[in-house]
Amino acid sequence: MRFFSDNAAPVHPAVLAAIMQADVVDTAYDGDQWSARLHSAFSALFETPVSVLWVSTGTAANCLALAALCPPYAAVLCHADAHVETDEGGAPEFFTHGAKLMTIAGEGAKITPDALGRRLRAIRDDVHQVQPRALTITNATEYGRVYTPDEVAALGALCRAHGLRFHMDGARFANAVAHLGCHPADLTWRAGVEALSFGFVKNGGMMAEALLFFDTTLADETRRRRKRAGHLLSKGRYLAAQLLAMLDDDLWLHNARSANAAAQVIGRAAGGRCLHPVEANEVFIALSPAEAAELRQQGFDFYDWGEGAARLVTSWHHDVTAVQPLADAIAAL
C-alpha cells in the first residue's frame, strides 16, 4: 500500500465521468462551455466574485500567482520549507523573471506574524537590498499543519500594513477547510488573501488545478502569462470539466474529509511518534531504519523524511478502513 504521496492516487470516478462527458466537439482553448462556468461556480463557493484560470499543475498555479503579485526586481516572502522554495525546481524564479524568495523559519512550516515582522524589519529600504512585495503561505502546510482563519487574517493585516500582496498555496486547501470546518471564504479573501492556488490533483483530480484571483483585476494579465508559459491547453474543456466535477456536491470536501480521517487513524496509532500534530492528510513520525524496513516488508511504501523519520500521506481513496492495516502495523512496532 502506497503512502508516498496523494499524487499516487488514481482519479475519482466522478472526475473521469466528467471528462467523458466533455468529450464532444467544442471551442478550443478556454472558449468552451465548461471553462465559461468556472467563474460562477467558484464565485458561488467563495461568496464573492472571483476570476479563475485552470492550469495543469500546482507549480503553474503558484508561480503564475507570484508573477502577478511580485515584480521581477522584488521578493516574495515564504517559509523556508515552502514548496515554492524547495520543490518547484526554480519555477517561482522563472515565472517572476528572477524575483527573490526570502525565507522565514517557523514550526510546522507555519509563519507567525512575529516571525514575519522580524524578517521585514531586517531589510534595509534602499536599492541595494531587494524589497519584498508579496507573502505566500501554504495551507495546509508542507508538514500537514493548518492555519486558522484568525492566523491568516493576522498575516493579512501585516501584509496590508507593509504593502505586501498575499497568496495562499492551497495544494491541500481542501484538507485545511475539512479540518477547520470553516467557510472557504473565511480562510481566504475575508482574511486578506488575494490569490489562491486551489489544488485538486492531490484530492482526486487528474491534472486540473484552479488559480483564483479575489483581486479580479489580476486575471487578464495572468491569462496572457498563462498562454506565454504554454499553460493554455488547446482542449481546455477536459480540464475545466474536472474542476466542475470536484465542486459538484462538494466532492472536494468529501474527498478531503476521507483523507483527513485516514490520517487521523494513522496519527492516533502512531501516538507519541508523531513529529507534528496531525491536522490534514500528512503524518510525520519518528521511525528507525529498522522499523521502516519492517513496515516496508509488510507492504507499506512511504518516503523517509530525513534521518529516523518518515512521511505518510493519505488521499481521497483511503478511508478509515483502508488505512487500518498500516495503523495496526505502526502500533505493533
Q: For the chain, list the strands marked E by DSSP.
A: 51-55, 74-79, 100-104, 131-138, 165-170, 195-198, 209-213, 282-286, 303-304, 309-313
119 CA to centre of own chain: 24
Regarding 2 and contact with its own copies (CB under 8 A), the answer is yes
DSSP-assigned states of every residue in 119-146: HHHTS--STTSPEEEEEEEESS-TTS--
Please state whether beta strands 195-198 and 209-213 pair in parallel, antiparallel, or not at all (unpaired). antiparallel
Regarding 221 and contact with its own copies (CB under 8 A), the answer is yes
Subset of residues 167 to 206 that bind its own copies, contact rule: CB under 8 A: 201-202, 206
Applying CB under 8 A, among 65, 66, 82, 99 the residue interacting with its own copies is 99
Inter-axis angle of helices 324-331 and 289-297, nearest 10: 140
- Which lies closer to its own copies via its Cβ, residue 130 or residue 333? 130
Applying CB under 8 A, among 110, 225, 273, 311 the residue interacting with its own copies is 225
Map residues 10-49 to x or -, x wherever contact with its own copies holds by CB under 8 A: xx----x--xx--xxxxxxx--------------------
Applying CB under 8 A, among 9, 70, 120, 212 the residue interacting with its own copies is 9
Cα–Cα distance between 20 and 333 in angstroms, integer? 45
Cα–Cα distance between 293 and 127 in angstroms, integer? 53
Subset of residues 286 to 305 that bind its own copies, contact rule: CB under 8 A: none
Map residues 62-91 to x or -, x wherever contact with its own copies holds by CB under 8 A: -x-------xxxxx----------xxxxxx
Subset of residues 229 to 288 that bind its own copies, contact rule: CB under 8 A: 229-235, 238-239
Regarding 55 and contact with its own copies (CB under 8 A), the answer is yes
Cα–Cα distance between 7 and 143 in angstroms, integer? 16
- Which lies closer to its own copies via its Cβ, residue 202 or residue 276? 202
Cα–Cα distance between 82 and 137 in angstroms, integer? 8
Applying CB under 8 A, among 44, 47, 49, 98 the residue interacting with its own copies is 98
Phi-psi region of 29 (alpha: psi -120 to 50; beta: other; left: phi over 0): left
**Residues found near its own copies in the complex (CB under 8 A):** 2, 4-5, 7-11, 16, 19-20, 23-29, 55-60, 63, 71-75, 86-91, 93-101, 127-131, 201-202, 206-207, 221, 223-235, 238-239
